[in-house]
Amino acid sequence: MRHDLRHAVRLNSRTLADLAWAIVELAVARVGLTSKRASAGPAANDATGAIDNLDAADHLLVERVAFAIPRAAARVPWRSDCLVQALAAERWLRRSGVPSTIHFGVPKDQGGMFEAHAWLTVGERVVTGGDIAGHSPFRR
């Protein structure tokens, strides 16, 4: 904890605000998943190629979200796995009009066990979900 605080004082105000906002988005996503009133999730929108159509401010927002969400998720006291992170980032970007797509998939080599993963993309840019090279997305 002291280590995190020492690093936090070195961050600029924009980054600190992004991390705080990421915590809010992660909390909303987590509560939404655990609520009995939770829907099946946001409607999918086709964001293929959308990153090429974004202006510089939107590109910067995508990078800020990609930085803040996983770092905040690693430090909150509730479970913020890949689905929670994807939902949080999707909501943050949607509010600014940046189209994104949540993907669900499985590892290419499962070894007989079922394991799922979720990630968020803007165009081809993976925003949350880490390195997805070893995963195959479910197809509609």
Give per-residue pLDDT as tens, 30-80.
999 887 544 444 444 555 556 778 999 999 999 999 999 999 999 999 999
Q: Which residues pair with 107 in a beta bridge?
A: 135
Question: What is the distance between the alpha carbons of residues 12 and 16, in angstroms, rounded to a whole number?
Answer: 6
pTM of the model: 0.80
101 is in which domain, residue-wise? 2-137
What digits encode the pLDDT tens for the residues 86-114?
Answer: 999 999 999 999 999 999 998 877 666 77
Retrieve residue 31's tokens: 């509560």
Q: Which of 69, 52, 24 is nearest to 122 (CA)?
A: 52
Distance CA 137, CA 119 (A): 10
User: What is the number of domains present in the chain?
Assistant: 1
Question: What's the token pair of residue 14?
Answer: 């924009």
- Cβ 104 vs Cβ 140: under 8 Å: no
